[in-house]
Structure 1
């Protein structure tokens, strides 16, 4: 996505953030995650939305049917406004921007934790406590991803920061160090 598209999406996200306020952030975040997932996963829907012969009303009805009619008026009106202004391609980016704003307001960060096996609830809680303090957040929303290629240990991605404690990561670092010393 270009810089201009990101700016436009952020404007819609900020407007929605101001409308919703702090009281309904969690509900709005969960609705926008649903909208984002539906639009990202359904390539046929994206093609129909981009088709010039499909009317704006038909596009709105398709989105309503795809996502479900149980969205709050603020979210639905924002999505409809974006369709009316031919900004439907920015809806997923707007959702991502809003989630980022909501996380910032609540002191929460999203974290992807890569491990060779699914982590227990206790392990997830310990990771959350340890790494939330490291990145200066109140809490982390952890998504555990199983990745057997790590061999052992874990790798954590929080925003653009990566904490790599995996065996494969250590082996890669050793390999680079040996290659640079051998030159």
Structure 2
């Protein structure tokens, strides 16, 4: 929990600095790159979290991976975090940065699980509903197909969930029959 708070604070500071330098979009792309690299190479996160690995080695690894590919503010930020002995939260800081960036820009991710692949019409309708209900500027839809749903879909945005699946409706009906309500 304390590490998440620290990561969030570091992310907020980096956003503020990015805005000062008019480099918010570029640094956002750098954070996306860091998240992608760590996702593809979990060993990097293990090295960053390992207290036995010397700070100069961690800095050298990050320099080797990112110098010339990221903004100089990002490079300096990586070095600062590592030299403060906080390299363990670098990955969480990047994720917190992206979450804060999305909140600033009004970007919302909608996870949609459906029985079949969504049509363009369904996608547009879900996007319009989420924009209206949540007040988002941009909706990123992440689709997942689950053939056990029979039909319909489950929409999840943040901590809210709307279940319009046939399987859910059948389960509700089954419970009502079991309780003798119907």
- In the alignment, the residues of structure 2 paired with residue 120 and residue 76 of structure 1 have an alpha-carbon distance, to the nearest angstrom, of 42
SS of the residue 2:117 aligns to: coil
1:126-159 deviation line (CA, Å, top 9, x unaligned) = 3211211111222212222233232222212111
For residues 26-45 of structure 1, the aligned pairs below 5 Å read: 26-45=25-44
User: Hey, what does 2:132 align to over in structure 1?
Assistant: 133
TM-score by length of 2: 0.82
- In the alignment, the residues of structure 1 paired with residue 174 and residue 25 of structure 2 have an alpha-carbon distance, to the nearest angstrom, of 44
| Higher deviation after alignment, 151-160 or 113-122 | 113-122
User: Hey, what does 2:162 align to over in structure 1?
Assistant: 163
Residues 107 and 139 in structure 1, CA contact (< 8 A), matched pair in contact too: yes
SS of the residue 1:86 aligns to: coil
User: Hey, what does 2:50 align to over in structure 1?
Assistant: 51
User: Hey, what does 1:95 align to over in structure 2?
Assistant: 94
> Cα RMSD over matched residues?
2.6
User: Hey, what does 1:115 align to over in structure 2?
Assistant: 114
User: Hey, what does 2:62 align to over in structure 1?
Assistant: 63
How many residues align? The count is 180
| Higher deviation after alignment, 165-174 or 4-13 | 165-174
- In the alignment, the residues of structure 1 paired with residue 177 and residue 79 of structure 2 have an alpha-carbon distance, to the nearest angstrom, of 57
SS of the residue 1:21 aligns to: helix
Specify whether residues 36 and 165 from structure 1 end up closer, same or farther in structure 2 by C-alpha distance, changes over 3 A only. Answer: same
1:94-139 deviation line (CA, Å, top 9, x unaligned) = 1222122212211221222222333344432332112111112222
If you compute each CA radius of gyration, which structure gives the higher value, 1 or 2? Answer: 2
Structure 1 runs not aligned, ≥5 long: none
1:38-85 deviation line (CA, Å, top 9, x unaligned) = 224423222322334422222123234445741112223222222112
Residues 66 and 75 in structure 2, CA contact (< 8 A), matched pair in contact too: no
